[in-house]
Amino acid sequence: MDKKTDIIVEVAYALPHEQLILPVVVKKDATAEQAILASGITGKFPEIDLSVNKIGIFGKMTKLDTPLRHMDRVEIYRPLIADPKEVRKQRAADGKIMKKGGGDLPVES
């Protein structure tokens, strides 16, 4: 590693029961996509498709051509299984039935 021209970044990907964070040395002007490819993570997780999966740096959505800084963490996100708004609506509806969230149940005498 040449301290004047190289930086260290991390590339992260997580499944429900497994996560992988790989440190990678890249050139100072490297993009998020270049770091992902250099990490080899797409070989370990073939379901990663950079034309489909969204990415971020430290939890903030970004694009593949975003230049990186020393110690950035590039995160590859999986597609959502369920719409979070719909899940919250369903939980609210279930809570009303189960007397959570202020629903009305008949009182037993």
Radius of gyration, CA atoms only, the chain:
21
How many C-beta neighbours within 10 Å does residue 97 have?
Answer: 10
How do residues 24-33 score in pLDDT, each as one tens digit? Answer: 999 999 999 9
Asked whether the beta carbons of 68 and 30 are under 8 A apart, the reply is yes
**Strand 73-76 with 55-57, pairing:** antiparallel
pTM over cut 0.85 = no
Please, what are the domains in the chain?
Answer: 6-78 (3.10.20.30), 81-109 (no CATH)
Residue 34: half-sphere exposure toward Cβ, Cα within 13 Å:
16
Which tokens sit at 60? 């903030």
How do residues 41-82 score in pLDDT, each as one tens digit? Answer: 999 999 999 999 999 999 999 999 999 999 999 999 998 776
